[in-house]
A and B are shown apart, each in its own frame.
Chain A
């Protein structure tokens, strides 16, 4: 929202020495976000009043002229394309160095000396759109330059005067972030903002200027005869509706002061009546609407007009005043005559009932509408207007009356022939909770942590419009109506008022005192951190954060069935509507992307996944309904050029993790058909203490080829919630034996299907003297029969009570060979 400094000053009673910057700073620290403080006409530097002394045709261009322009100091040769340029005209002359927008578009450019079709040009004769004045002086034709003699009484202004001064552009505009105003319905107009500013500067607000209305002369025959009948069908959605008919209207342009005010805050003047409604909205924060009485209602002559405030019928059509048709639903509130809707309540007027040049009688509406209904309507239809933006903040229904009175006053003032043609109808049904709220001073101090002087607290509240009485250390605070719609309702709200005006900067910082109880440890977070550190710092994996959402396209590409996945109702992009149940699809995407640039990709992610098949926490304290389970998963991916079995890279890293965690883990061959992407021959279930907590698998090579990845890829995934319950972190020291150990090797050939884990299991059972079995070589291929592999192990023998004799070791080692032959039909190739 834009706020004009000059407009504000009318009401605040601040000394003239108060700068806009001071006001902005106070507002920022105590009230709202001021995003910009901009001086009007700051872009009009070096644009001055100039006189066109001579115009001749450009020798080389039909549409250009070569003009001589005097800027008070000297004559300049200027090439000009303006269609209306003529000798003796006073123009907006941009000197070299002035900033202009070429043809009214794009960024500002600094004028320099130029040669145009061979003729030198020292400056520019500007069109209104080229110097940001297009709204104030709209172009009548495309190539028209701004003719100052036509638009201003320019006689008093000498050549060379700054245009900004000539046009009275001496205002400063505050740009305020609308979001920061969302809980302050009272600040959506200059008067409300002035009240706030005055309070921040500890000044009393100037009373709103309005003439005492004469008691309405109901004896007037016309007024008596004219029945303006208002039916409000839903008083909850429309707590107040005021209307009045005014006759004798002559549509014209608004006076300069009004246009200037609207333009200053970015509104384009339209005509006197529309400008009045806009002015009231900007001044008092109360949106108003004017209907053309004759076009929509029975004419005044026919004596009766009926307006109904009702819910729209489902499917009812409505065309806005800018000509767009909408289909309404029963949740939308409309203003209607007997035939149809003439306005979408609180949002926008209808096309046919709008004010036009031929309008002679109007009906003003000053009403109040339910905030959430307005918000729903404007959101659903995508129609955000200055009016709906205000109504959806919960406006004060009391303000309708002041707004209506001011609108009538201005109308009578601006249209000399205007006459009030009806009674002022006022249909209302509302009640505001104005308290009083009890605010014990002790509570105030306890909450803020600093003693604010009682008188000061009372003064702060009073300046903001609260009525305060004190009773035995308790402030009884009555809420002004403009703060009572939703903003202020409890003592804490008042504490905020006092504290923010007192100044958050004036409240000292201090640290609370607590007993030195250590916080209870979050085991899962600790586990997560440990695993991250092991994987990144020991095994060289890089951590990634992927989105929790996954696209159906990716799932389809990976051959994953999306059935049963939890789905977003309103995804931000249509391509990612599911919640991930697994981390590896994302990791696979990461690998695919990075393999184009890196020879090796080792990544992991720890994050939540979503699974409707398992149960999560309760949806509320006393409900039996449970959220879907959201276990914390660890996912890994490995792919490297020339790494033929990336499976082992992952199993090695995971084994390292389990070892550090003190877990007994094993990788058990799995044969699940987990989808077409899985390499069936290279997948394992991860067991910790016998419980399955995850899986490792390679991606089928035909599939990775389709992904455009030419190296082998492995992924793994495990459930950290499950792992946590299995971690025992119980590493026990084994006394170092005083007796030497003896290491013997054995190499043998077995069927490829025989697993290492089975061999180790069997070998360890053979003899108590065997304390270690370590695989050190695996070979398949050339020189071996098909389907066979050769394995070589170091076997460590030791006793804890004596030095072993070599005969003992020989005997045990011989048994190793026999067991291998017997159990696995191994062919022992070499014993050492």
Chain B
């Protein structure tokens, strides 16, 4: 019996080296390990015919052989599996550069929305409350409350869209001549002051209107983002600090700001703000007209007349205000050279964002 066992072992080792694939492996398994007819199974079955010491001795030996063969078999099985899997992986190779078919077109947010969201988030993170206001505004809020007197050039028909009297007023009044399409987001200064009082930190994104002929650089409808802060010890240096934060947020830490005098009736002093041209790093290029600076905002200390209109105690409080043309920021950011495309509704444009 012992010899028989040795022979099985020898046969197994011979056979196992012949095994090349899963099929042969299964044959091998059948031949030696099959429950019914396996050679090894058979000899193990014969164990029960022995008795006593012989049984014990042979049993031990047979088990050792069985364990050994099983181990070799398992190893062989793993080998075959690995080689066959390797083959599958090769056969199932795909073109990873190919897109999924059919594709699914994703949607696109308007670039103005992207830039506006970004700035809104920056300002709310600094504790600014975001407000929205009417686009059709009263002359009072659009002009008077902002220290723009009746004969100021800004009120010219060339700059401002007025609303016809026929439009009728919601309250039944016939006083519609005093309505305009807001020319800036600043009417919200007085509205916010009247509603919330001081101190105040507000940012107002929104659509504004200028009555002018359009071309590649001029549009009668644009998006603005305005901010203002009113508190007890607010000063010009703070205005500069906040604008510096915004500029660096938009264009990176190396960007500097430069303020230059500019007249706006609702601020005093009034400035326009420039940032280092981020395209040429201030060296001068076509976009910054060789100046190294890009003009991106208007700002200033809120005029006492405006604070007064808002019901703010000007002995106690002062404030600053600033505004950005979002369209301009968008155009600079994405290199758009035609402002009218922003409102063209052209999917060839919108799908790029």
Contact = CB atoms under 8 A, between A and B. Distances in A.
Interface of A: 28-33, 180, 182-183, 371-372, 375-376, 379, 392, 446-450, 490, 492-493, 495-496, 499-500, 504-505, 507-512, 514, 516-520, 522, 524-525, 529, 532-533, 535-549, 564-572, 579, 586, 589-590, 593-594, 597-598, 600-603, 607-608, 610, 612-617, 619-621, 623-630, 632
Given A30-B260, A514-B231, A594-B345, 18 more contacts: A508-B240, A509-B237, A509-B240, A510-B237, A536-B107, A540-B107, A545-B112, A545-B223, A549-B221, A566-B136, A566-B164, A568-B163, A569-B163, A579-B167, A614-B170, A620-B145, A626-B171, A630-B135
B43 to A, nearest CB: 50
Interface in B143-172: 144-145, 151, 153, 156-158, 161-164, 166-171
B73 interface: no
A748 B342 CA distance: 51
A755 B47 CA distance: 78
A621 B194 contact: yes
Contact of B343 (A492, A545, A610, A617): A545
B51 interface: no
Interface stretch (B17-25, B78-86, B88-96, B263-271): B263-271
B326 to A, nearest CB: 11
Nearest to B213: A572
A598 B342 CA distance: 19
B351 interface: yes
Contact of A499 (B136, B191, B269): B269
Contacts of B350: 542-544, 603
A542 B167 contact: no
Contacts, number: 274
Interface in B300-333: 301, 303-304, 311, 318
Nearest to B112: A545
B269 A507 contact: no
Contacts of B177: 569
A495 B138 contact: no
26 contacts: A449-B238, A492-B301, A500-B269, A505-B258, A507-B240, A510-B240, A512-B242, A517-B127, A522-B129, A535-B107, A542-B107, A542-B108, A543-B350, A548-B181, A548-B207, A568-B164, A569-B163, A572-B212, A572-B214, A612-B168, A614-B170, A620-B144, A628-B169, A629-B170, A630-B134, A630-B135
Contacts of B56: none
A619 B345 contact: no
Contact of B127 (A29, A514, A613): A514
Nearest to B162: A569
B106 A537 contact: yes
Nearest to B129: A519
B210 to A, nearest CB: 9
Contacts of A547: 221, 343
A38 to B, nearest CB: 14
A640 B170 CA distance: 40
B97 interface: no
B105 A540 contact: yes
A543 B140 contact: no
Contacts of A505: 258-259
A620 B140 contact: yes
Q: Secondary structure at chain B's binding surface: helix, strand, loop or mixed?
A: mixed
Nearest to A607: B207
Which of A543, A567, A594, A603 gathers most chain B CB within 10 Å?
A543
Contact of A616 (B107, B134, B348): B134
A175 to B, nearest CB: 13
A372 B345 contact: no
B107 A541 contact: yes
What are the 5 closest A-B residue pairs judged by CB atoms, nearest first? A449-B237, A449-B235, A496-B269, A536-B107, A372-B151
A571 B170 contact: no
Interface of chain A, main secondary structure: mixed
Contacts of B135: 548, 608, 610, 630
B104 A540 contact: yes
- Most-contacted residue by chain B among A516, A542, A632 (CB, 10 A): A542
Interface in B199-228: 199, 201, 205, 207, 209, 211-214, 220-221, 223
A697 B286 CA distance: 49
B271 A504 contact: yes
Interface string B247-266: 00000000001111111000
A524 B132 contact: yes
B259 to A, nearest CB: 4
Contacts of B343: 545-547
A545 B110 CA distance: 7
A447 B213 CA distance: 39
A569 B181 CA distance: 11
B3 interface: no
A510 B238 contact: yes
B241 interface: yes
B345 to A, nearest CB: 4
A222 B259 CA distance: 60
B234 A512 contact: yes
A566 B237 contact: no
A213 B33 CA distance: 135
A619 B127 contact: no
B137 interface: yes
B138 A448 contact: no
A565 B351 CA distance: 33
Contacts of B136: 566, 579, 610, 616, 627-628, 630
A524 B129 CA distance: 13
A569 B164 contact: yes
B138 A620 contact: yes
B128 interface: yes
Contacts of B257: 509
A30 B261 contact: yes
A49 to B, nearest CB: 34
A499 B124 CA distance: 30
A614 to B, nearest CB: 7
Contacts of A615: 170-171
A522 B262 contact: no
A533 B134 CA distance: 24
A183 B168 contact: no
Contacts of B133: 617
Nearest to A496: B269
Contacts of B13: none
Given A517-B127, A570-B162, A627 B345 contact: no
Nearest to B234: A512
B12 interface: no
A757 B223 CA distance: 42
Given A570-B157, A628-B167, A629-B170, A594 B347 contact: yes
Nearest to B120: A525
A616 B131 CA distance: 16
Contacts of B131: 522
The residue among A31, A446, A566, A594 with the most chain B CB atoms within 10 A of its own CB is A566
B297 interface: no
Given A490-B304, A621-B194, A543 B130 contact: no
A728 to B, nearest CB: 22
A443 to B, nearest CB: 10
A375 B351 contact: no
A572 to B, nearest CB: 5
A447 B301 contact: yes
A619 B261 contact: no
B37 interface: no
Given A499-B269, A511-B241, A579-B136, A183 B263 contact: yes
Given A519-B130, A621-B194, A543 B346 contact: no
Nearest to A598: B347
Which of B131, B236, B245 has the most A CB atoms < 10 Å from its CB?
B236
A507 B311 CA distance: 30
A88 B140 CA distance: 74
Contacts of B238: 449, 510-512
B175 to A, nearest CB: 6
Contact of A510 (B105, B190, B214, B241): B241
